[in-house]
Amino acid sequence: MILVIDIGNTNITLGVFKDNEIKNSWRLSTEITRTEDEYGIYIKNLLREAHLENEIKNAVICSVVVQLTEKIESAIKKYLSINSFIISHKIKTNIKLKTDNPSQIGADRIANACALAKLYKLPAIAVDFGTATSFDIVNAEDEFVGGIITAGMKIQAEALSSKTSKLPDLNIEIPKSAIGKNTIDAMLSGVVLGHATMIDGLIEECEKELGQKAYIVATGGYSSVISNYLRRKFDDINPDLTLIGAKILFDMNNIA
């Protein structure tokens, strides 16, 4: 079995693959101050409770948090006695990285793009609703041609409450209507419906540049919240897209 770890700015997602199927998954909050030992104990205990502690033969790390990449790699080595395969622009992929500076592409975006090329009809766009909302775009020639990065809904909500004196903290949820009859509903409408309108417009612009209609795949925690408000519906919602992409890359690089 293979342990895949996706280290994001807000959460760390762990998935255990048996062949090509995710058998177990967990989510931890991302805490830079946690020590190597803390992460090692957390991960080992999760695997032990699932009776998988002795089943993990390889590990894959897909990280956008530089401070934690080496720390968790060391934790896996210390507590599970296995080496980790690190996703980066330097490894073998099933796509061409056609950007100005491939070294600047986040590991999660590389994994998303590789999953698109493997699983879906091209051209395809992954819309990843994380701390940031990002578009990862693969054209019909199996080329990762770049994408879009903008503030995610959580960042927008936090900015409203922290930068204004009267607006409260906001939990992202489905708004009742476009016209909010109280402060919370008005904020939800602005964040969620505003985000949906932005997504629709950006997809339209990307397809103009691609010269054809794209297959749209959503991933990330807020994809289900926003899906009902889009004019252009997602062709698929795949919450495990990044984990699957990382596993595809692991297999492609012939790691035993």
Q: What is the pLDDT along the chain (256 residues), one digit of tens a residue?
A: 999 999 998 899 999 999 889 999 999 999 999 999 999 999 999 999 999 988 999 999 999 999 999 999 999 999 999 999 999 999 999 999 999 999 999 999 999 999 999 999 999 999 999 888 999 999 999 999 999 999 988 888 888 888 777 777 777 778 788 898 888 888 888 888 899 999 999 999 999 999 999 999 999 877 878 888 899 889 999 999 999 999 999 999 975 5
Of 164, 208, 203, 172, the closest CA to residue 190 belongs to 172
The CATH number of the domain covering residues in 96-245: 3.30.420.40
Q: Could you tell me if 70 and 104 are in contact, meaning their C-beta atoms sit under 8 angstroms apart?
A: no
First-to-last alpha carbon distance for the chain, in angstroms, is 11
Look up the CATH superfamily of 2-86: ATPase, nucleotide binding domain (3.30.420.40)
Q: Where are the domains of the chain?
A: 2-86, 96-245
Q: What is the pTM of this model?
A: 0.89
Q: Active-site residue numbers?
A: 108
Of 39, 21, 37, the closest CA to residue 29 belongs to 39
